[in-house]
Amino acid sequence: MSCDLTKGFSVDCKDSIGGLKAVYLCKEYYPNMRNAANFNVPNPLQMDTAGFANYIDEVGSAATATVFKYALRPGASNLNTTINSSSENGTTFFTQTLSLTLPKLTVAQTNEIKLICQSRVAVFIQDNMDNMFLIGMDNGCETTGGTVVTGAARGDMSGYTLTMVGEELEPMIWLDRTTGGITPTALKAPFNGLTDAADLTVTAG
């Protein structure tokens, strides 16, 4: 069967840390992301080539692959993937929940938060170990809740919280960190494991 187990796990070193460093929201939803990409043969959940140059938008037109970087404060945001499996129905899917905290209110950012809430996008995530994940690849992630807060005390946060949720066939897609097709720039370094990272536009700020 295709679901036969392939390996075991041993107790590894205590050298990991938690937390997220940055998220990269796609400009729009690309329905052909899976078909445009190439995946690693021994590691089928690892994307080696994203197919950025071959993306199409929801109406079938060629689309420029663009992501917007959101740098995150330490200890404020997280990603959780919930396993949903039914032996009665023979189904398994994974709920990907990204919780973001974005301090400081501005009029421009408030408008951008409104657009995020109205959109469906895939999200690339960089954790504090510099692992890179992709969630919402097939179905996109949608904002299901959040807040715009000013706080009460002077030390309280003034900013935004967002909860973005995707429901997918896999827990998440990994991006290779070790090999790639370009010399990394400051913006594109997290994507350097992809052979076609040169075709991606990364916008920060």
Do 81 and 95 form a contact (C-beta atoms < 8 A)?
yes
pTM of the model: 0.93
Nearest to 145 by CA among 158, 160, 164: 164
CB atoms within 10 A of CB 92: 13
Residue 156 banded pLDDT, cuts 50, 70, 90: very high
- What are the tens digits of pLDDT across the range 52-79? 999 999 989 999 899 999 999 999 999 9
Tell me how far apart the alpha carbons of residues 89 and 8 are, in angstroms, rounded to a whole number.
27
Domain ranges across the chain: 20-204
Helix residue ranges, H only, the chain: 33-36, 107-118
Name the average pLDDT for the chain: 92
Tell me how far apart the alpha carbons of residues 47 and 37 are, in angstroms, rounded to a whole number.
7
Residue 9 banded pLDDT, cuts 50, 70, 90: confident
Share of residues in the chain with pLDDT > 70 (%):
95
Do 34 and 122 form a contact (C-beta atoms < 8 A)?
no
What is the pLDDT at residue 15?
A: 85
Do 135 and 98 form a contact (C-beta atoms < 8 A)?
yes
In sequence order, what are the residues at sequence separation of 6 or more whose Cβ sits closer than 8 angstroms to the Cβ of residue 99? 77, 78, 79, 80, 161, 162, 163
Q: Which uninterrupted H or E stretch holds 67? A: strand 66-71
